[in-house]
Structure 1
Amino acid sequence: MGKYKFETTEHELFRKSFRKFLEVEAEVQYDQWEIDHLIPLEFWRKLGDMGYLCSQVEEQYGGLDLDFSFGLIIQEELERIGSSLIGIGLHNDIVVPYIESYGTVAQKSRWLPKCVTGETITAIAMTEPGTGSDLANIQTTAIRDGDHYIVNGQKTFITNGIHTNLVVVAVKTNPHAEKKHRGVSLLVIEGGTPGFTKGRKLEKVGMHAQDTAELYFDDCRVPIENLLGEEGKGFTYMMEKLQQERLIVAIAAQTAAEDMLSLTIDYVKSRKAFGKQISEFQNTQFKIAEMATKIELGKSFLESLIEQHIASNDVVTKVSMAKYWITENARDLSAQCMQLHGGYGYMEEYKIARRYRDIPVMSIYAGTNEVMKMIIAKNLGL
């Protein structure tokens, strides 16, 4: 059977088909994409052509109307190739669901079909130079002027920032709201809108092929029809969607951890020192045993969370636990796996070196792990 208990034959066939697609269209080219610091638009189009973008979208908007379990498979298989493909998961399972949940029929008809084909690449712009996890204190404003909003501000660390042509932007429509979070709204801003410009592509420690950028809004006039949901409800919408976003990060970290362990087991079996395989040394065996145990614990925890999430249960506390624990475990594993690779682990030609660079940011984005602990503590009544 498949990786999870809830996987059916249909899931297995879907995974097999997608993995085969990625082996041809991504795995061979991935190293070059890392060098180029960009994933080509052509790859997005191919994903769309094959039905691997936004598979959960209703058929009337061009999607396959599949549940989250299929999106999970897509996310895992992308991560198995490399963390720089995370922008595709963000498009599929983080940004587009905002439009699905809070958009009007007219908005969904206008935006979703091209999100499915890959003609439109989405981003979500929350973080600002002075505001990270503290979303109630964003400074980007959207002031009503007749049938438009005038948007001014700056966003940073935006995944898909270079390629994006449709951005869900967190703005302050009421900067003077007594309770700051009630002044936050979500606006959908399209590429080419006057006053909307992109800054430089940011150079990161890892995830080199993933385009990350700064976005600027200078007297950017956005039609009121682009308001997503109700004015003043943006903070609530973001809180509602963060459960899935953080679950996706945990899934990515778990997949990366499993991949790193597999790479390391293969390596220690093939490498010799002092006349025998590295895998025969007790220290190596103990390290592998410890890592395998933690990975199995993470997998079991995640499986139960995924089932509850698909059933639309509120698992915010447990998802916060998973996001914090699994990402930190993956980060620890990356260092241990590199150590077991010896000097070769520090060489660019070995995948473990890339993993070592890519993993740490998982503890930071989608809410830092310190914020995860704050949520856990609060929900435990502390």
Structure 2
Amino acid sequence: MNTDRDAGGAVAVDSTALGQPQRRSRSIDDDGVIKNCLTQYTDQSYMLRLGLEFPPLMGIMVAIAAMDRANHHQLAMLSYIFAIQELRASIADANDARNEDGLLATTICLCVYESFRTDSPPNVGPHATAAGFLLTSRSPAQRNQQPARMFERICVESFLYHSALMMLFDPTFDALSNPDRRMYLDRYFTVPDEPGEDPSTQPILCTSYQFFLLIADVTRLARAAGLFCHSDMFTWQRLQDELLQWERNPQAQSEGCMLYILAMRILLIRIDTSAPSEEVEGRISFLLRQGLGLVQSIDADQFLIGDLLWPLAVLGSVAVTADEIRILNDKIASLGSRRALASWVRSHLDKIRTMTSSLRMRLGYLLGVGHDLASARLLLQY
């Protein structure tokens, strides 16, 4: 295997595969790069040069490349272990770890690797947390440092993607709750790279980064257990209003975006303490039916793997009839042939459905805040 070429190919694919939420009109070329992405983002030579200079990064790039190829899983694991060991040594020896591009790139690629693993549930949290620390601590590249700025943009969008979407699959993970961190991240988005730049041309998110912050905010509040305090009620109403604004936003008029919005509404309905249980179940079922219509019309091949798993997981947790479960399982299966995380999500949902018939409680188990929490979490680990 040509290690350098394969590793570079893995980064070229996976720096975009971390998440482009919802543009049905876009297309993906043979290298996995979004065709409507700005051209400066498709050049991964800066990342590859970092790998040649920084052994931990090359190690994890080789691990990603090996994970994506049959009969190379042992190489993937050995390369992953090498990357972790070398990363620890590099952190200890770094003069200014916060501004080391190699360290930042390695933490981002570790997130990618975790989302590809077949031997365990994804454990993105530690790596995304480290990436968030580096992004909020470093000094952003100057405007005239084009390759470095493109690299930073890919990293910050990858961090936001993982940090928002993986909250649903890891109830202990939240890298976006600190307001200071969010303020520092804003620095990377305040000056557009091109005059009149369309968010859909961005390398990872393909929509406003505020949409992913909204996903994180909804997930965080939906984890709440017990009675709401006054501030929680205010936050709940604010998020409902934000979702309404997004429904009217031209950026959100794609099937993928609408699927996310429906899933977020379902999560918020779960914690609507003003409505009786029967009404909550009815409203969830109504939104599920709307979502199933979108799921059936969406062409999964127009999306990269992570784009659909988040809303499909929410809808799948409240599917009841055999036909509803079949529709969602078929769509998840079409993704599962491409990445192991999809297979793990399907197994996760199968377990949740056996635990209770209550849609509200199923959503709680999905979020890690169900009744008999310790038993539920233990069950879902195996």
Same fold, TM-score > 0.5, yes or no: no
Place the TM-score, normalised by the shorter chain, in its bin. Answer: under 0.3
Q: TM-score, with normalisation over the residues of structure 1? A: 0.27
Structure with bigger RCO (C-alpha 8 Å, 6+ apart): 2
Greater strand share, structure number: 1
TM-score, normalised to structure 2, is 0.27
